[in-house]
Structures are given as C-alpha cells and as structure tokens.
Amino acid sequence: MLKYSLVGYDGSATSQRAVRFAVDMARACGGRVRVVSVLQITEGSADPCPLMMTDPGPKRCTRLLEEVRELVPDANQLIDAEVVRGSPGDVLLDQVNRHGIDHIVIGHTERGALARWLLGSVSGEVLQRAHVPVTVVR
C-alpha cells in the first residue's frame, strides 16, 4: 500500500494534475503527499550566485505551498512541500531515499525530439532510475 507519494511540481498543467492524482491516491490509501519543486541552475548560464540570492528558497516554498493549497484546498493536512536546488531528476530520486517515499507521481509534457535531446526528459530519467513505482500523468 502506498503511504508516501512524491510529486515533482513545476506549476505546469500536468504537474497540477499529478498533485491532484497523488492526493486522491493518498486519501484512498491513508497516505501523505510530498510536493517538491526544483530550482534548477543551468550550466553555462550567468553566474548562479545572483540568481540564488534573488530567488530565495523560503519565498519560493511559500508560493509553492500557496499554489498547491489552491489546487487541493481540502487536503492541506496530507501535503508536505519543499523547494530544492539541483537537477530535477537527481533531486526527485534523492527525495525517495531521504524521506522514505514509496511512490513517485510525475507529470509529462510532450516535447519535440530536438527539445528532448537537448534538455532531456525528467520523467524519462525518473522512470529509468527509480526503485519505487512511478506514475506518469499526462
């Protein structure tokens, strides 16, 4: 039985559907949902220090919690949320070990082959590397 589901959240329509799906599963199984948004600093970008100083984690986490609470206002007691800096796939997979996650729910946004080749696919990476069940929501 699924007790603690992880949702990767970026504010997209598919990640919003993933949150709703995970909350429905948590209600059915008596579990909880951990919502994680990843603040990614891309390689080759301008100096990352000013970006990290201008977008502090606590403020972004507060905005994340507000967004998620608006999505499922009657499920606040089921949800934990956090903003983490790093590579999305690595962060999500690290959360599994760090927090005892037994299920991952992730949204999938269709991209063209070129964009997928250049940017990669977080859902594909998680599917390949996860050691817990993964549900991909479209």
The per-residue pLDDT for 52 is 47
Residues (pLDDT < 50) of the chain are 50-53, 114-119
The per-residue pLDDT for 111 is 55
- CA-to-CA distance for 104 and 115, rounded, in angstroms? 24
The per-residue pLDDT for 114 is 45
The per-residue pLDDT for 104 is 96
- CA-to-CA distance for 129 and 45, rounded, in angstroms? 27
User: Domain segments of the chain: what residues?
Assistant: 4-137
| pTM across the whole model | 0.82
- CA-to-CA distance for 81 and 33, rounded, in angstroms? 8
Domain 4-137 carries which CATH code? 3.40.50.620
The per-residue pLDDT for 1 is 78
